[in-house]
Chains A and B, each alone.
Chain A
Amino acid sequence: MADPIVSQPLRAVEVPSMWSGMMAIMKRDLKIAFRQRSDMVNPLFFFVMVIALFPLGIGPEPSTLQKIGPGVIWIAALLSTLLSVDSLFRQDFDDGSLELALLSPQPLFVLAFGKVIAHWLVTAIPLILVAPILSVMLYMDRDTVWVTLYSLLLGTPVLSMISAIGAALTVGLRKGGVLVAVIALPLYIPVLIFGTSAVEAAAMTLPYAGQLAYLAAFLVLALTFAPFAIGAALRISVTSQ
């Protein structure tokens, strides 16, 4: 029998602040990500590899590469998001932390939001940071590189949010692999269209603010609604096993 530690028991706050719950899960996930770096490095490596293979496969002609560059970068970003998203809730589901999250007084969408943000920070930010180097490899000029950066910065969080919905829905299945892609890909398409067309417009020195504004609108929409969908999907996945 243990000695009573302190006479007064710890008390939880009556209504825990959502901000602290979100920060707590974000910090935990970032800590875990930095300890198991493969989750972080794999999508980045994939992104770099796909883009590096294009000039080899198609030929190093500047005019061709310039033309396909925006599409290549965007498709690579999209696929690498899809690649990394399967692990987003898998571990938490397998080790039971998702059950704890479901039983915590924090609303589930807050925790889901924190998780997706952390996931975006470790998988998409490195990708955005190397994108300018790869864009130069595809003969893009300086302005276009900047627009690529902006469009990825606005677009990748949307991709993360969308794929998180798919991942949350399929996390309870034994073999969810392809299903995430089937659920998420159709929803990716608007982001892909506006992302590439922003970069293409910039390459042709046309105004590109409209496309970026659309991406920003998608972002606002995704940040507002996706967490609720992710939370609800996670609840279904955990309670119906």
Chain B
Amino acid sequence: MATALLQTVKLFCERDDRVLIRDLDFALQPGEVVQIEGPNGSGKTTLLRILCGLSDDFSGNILWQGAARRRVDSEFRRDTLYFGHLTGVKFSLSARENLRWILQLKGIPPHAPGLDDRIDQALSNVGLYSYEDVPVYSLSAGQKRRVALARLFVEPADLWVLDEPFTAIDRKGVTQLEGLIQAHAGRGGSVLITTHHALDLPTIRKLQLGLGRGTWQIQ
């Protein structure tokens, strides 16, 4: 069996004296889409934050391509894309400037060949054609989310960690996103996603949280 992209060993997390996750042993293979399910407050976001390194409030081990994550932290961060509730989009910058900055943060040189074309293409893919230079504060709520979603088209990453990516996105956008996720898995990338939306994907595993006292189930 190939090395899992991301693996947890006996992951344990409690919050305010409530056990959210107990002894989670879970492996995410390349090319796999895993949907994390559970009622509100069952720890979906907490788990995602732990998995991508935004929370240290856990015990147990997390392995990235077979090695302890903290040892390969810089590779891990380079190859992971996190899309959270807060999107990191700056309202006084334009969509293009936002995307450009986020890519630079990821270590893409600002003068990479064709970078501008790709950014424009990504923005038109999410339906922001002709909105590229408008300050983001004048866009609608859905469009603001779409600016951040455009990252999925340009940002290079093996692992996508998507926390409720469908919030404020219209039906057509949801279908498009599903296609995008499937294409990413087809290229050998992995996706961890939380959503209350029924995903229309052929192969998908589900990790069920919130079954009481930190128990979980993989389907």
Contacts and interface: CB of A to CB of B under 8 A. Distances in A.
A224 interface: no
Contacts of B84: 96, 99
Contact of A104 (B93, B107, B114): B107
B216 interface: no
Contact of B180 (A1, A101, A240): A1
Interface stretch (A30-38, A130-138, A180-188): A30-38
Interface string A88-121: 0000001111011111111000010000000000
Contacts of A96: 84-89
Interface string A4-46: 0110011111011000110011001001100110000000000
B102 A100 contact: yes
B131 to A, nearest CB: 17
Contacts of A204: none
A103 B80 CA distance: 8
Interface residues of B, number: 50
Contact of A106 (B55, B107, B118, B125): B107
Given A99-B88, A101-B105, A10 B155 contact: yes
A2 interface: yes
B153 A5 contact: yes
A10 B118 contact: yes
B64 interface: no
Contact of B55 (A32, A97, A104, A239): A239
Scoring B80, B85, B105, B108 by chain A CB atoms within 10 A of each residue's CB, the highest score goes to: B105
B198 to A, nearest CB: 19
Interface string B5-24: 00000000000000000000
B93 A31 contact: yes
Contacts of B57: 239-240
Interface in B70-107: 74-75, 77-78, 80, 82, 84-93, 97, 101-107
Nearest to A9: B156
Contacts, number: 118
A104 B77 contact: yes
Given A2-B125, A103-B80, A105-B78, A32 B92 contact: yes
Q: How large is the interface on A (under 10, 10 to 19, 20 to 34, 35 or more residues)?
A: 35 or more
B92 A36 contact: yes
Contacts of A15: 74
B93 A28 contact: yes
A32 B93 contact: yes
25 contacts: A2-B125, A2-B153, A2-B176, A5-B122, A6-B118, A10-B103, A12-B106, A16-B107, A21-B105, A24-B105, A31-B97, A32-B93, A35-B93, A95-B87, A96-B85, A96-B87, A97-B88, A100-B82, A101-B105, A102-B53, A102-B54, A103-B77, A104-B105, A239-B55, A239-B56
Interface of A: 1-2, 5-6, 9-13, 15-16, 20-21, 24-25, 28, 31-32, 35-36, 94-97, 99-106, 111, 238-240
Given A12-B106, A96-B84, A97-B88, 11 more contacts: A10-B155, A20-B109, A24-B101, A36-B92, A99-B88, A100-B82, A100-B88, A103-B77, A105-B77, A238-B54, A239-B57
